[in-house]
Amino acid sequence: VSTQSRRERLRAEAFEEIKAITLRLLAEHGPGAISLRAIAREMGMTAGGLYGYYATRDDLITALIGELYTSLAERLEAALGSLPGGDLGERIVLWAEALRAWAIANPEGFQLIYGAPVAGYQPPPEGAAPEAERRMCAVLASLVAGAWPYVRESQPGAYDWADLDPRLAEQVRASTPDLPPTAVALALRIWGRVHGLLSLEINGHLGRQVRDPSRLYRTELHDLLRFLGLTPSQASA
């Protein structure tokens, strides 16, 4: 027995349909194809009718970006959840491969989150996106935490908590109390490493140079584990 009225249910379903259609348009025809008129056309209704759901085009895009972040976060959590107590190297590889799988499956979504924004789009000053990003950084930091004692420090001078965004620092200290800021900086650099290969591949720059970008990615992960003091055998075991 739902507490929703029939009207509320229909309205919620319409919201879902709008989001689904927007994602489909994004995937099929790129960010340029996202317009209120196109969405309305696809839904079989009038452009003006959409204003009953979103006050503005930018609001719709903001909601879409939130949806994408949620989808990505769920994918990553599901991957890590499938091996909760497993070997640390395996977990890092799992995380990275899940990130890649999501990016390959949603290239336009990846661009929308990490690349240049839709033309003319003005994001809200403090939306959900930065928060989602910090959360994902914190997850990565907690992965790094396990390896941190074995990483041979090399950088000239450690990082300070003041070098990090206060809210990220807070989030990390809450989930991984003993991790020093230098390790968080390392987590950000690891993010950069996976992001770099992914971004090049998604934008078609890697595929032109190499036959199998996924292999290059795996090789990079292999070296990453070594760098983290995790033996390859630990990872492939």
For DNA, give the closer residue by CB, 51 or 114: 51
Using CB under 8 A as the binding rule, whether residue 62 contacts a copy of itself is answered as: no
Give the whole-angstrom CA distance, residue 13 versus residue 132.
25
Q: Which residue has the tokens 């075991």?
A: 237
Q: Tell me whether residue 71 or residue 199 sits nearer to a copy of itself (CB atom).
A: 199
Name the CA dihedral angle for 128, 132, 134, 137, rounded to a multiple of 10 degrees.
-170
Should residue 122 be labelled a site residue for a copy of itself when binding is judged by CB under 8 A? no
Residue 119 binds to DNA (criterion: CB under 7 A): no
Of these partners, a copy of itself, DNA, none, which one is at the site of residue 48 (CB under 5 to 8 Å by kind)? DNA
Terminal CA-CA length for the chain: 49
Nearer to DNA, 61 or 96 (CB): 61
- How many CB atoms sit inside 10 A of residue 182's CB? 16
207 contacts DNA (rule: CB under 7 A): no
Residue 193 engages a copy of itself in binding (rule: CB under 8 A): yes
User: 228 near 92, Cβ under 8 Å?
Assistant: yes
- By CB under 8 A, which span of 3-11, 39-47, 54-62, 114-122 interacts with a copy of itself? 114-122
Q: E strand or H helix at 106, and its extent?
A: none
| Binding flag, residue 208, a copy of itself (CB under 8 A) | yes
- Which of 21, 35, 129, 188 forms a contact with DNA (CB under 7 A)? 35
**Strands annotated E in 76-152:** none
C-alpha span between 20 and 37 (Å, rounded)? 15
Residues of this chain that interact with a copy of itself (CB under 8 A) are 30-32, 111, 114-116, 119-120, 130, 133-134, 137, 154-156, 162-165, 168, 185, 188-189, 191-200, 203, 205-206, 208-212, 215-216, 219-220, 222-223, 226-227, 232, 236
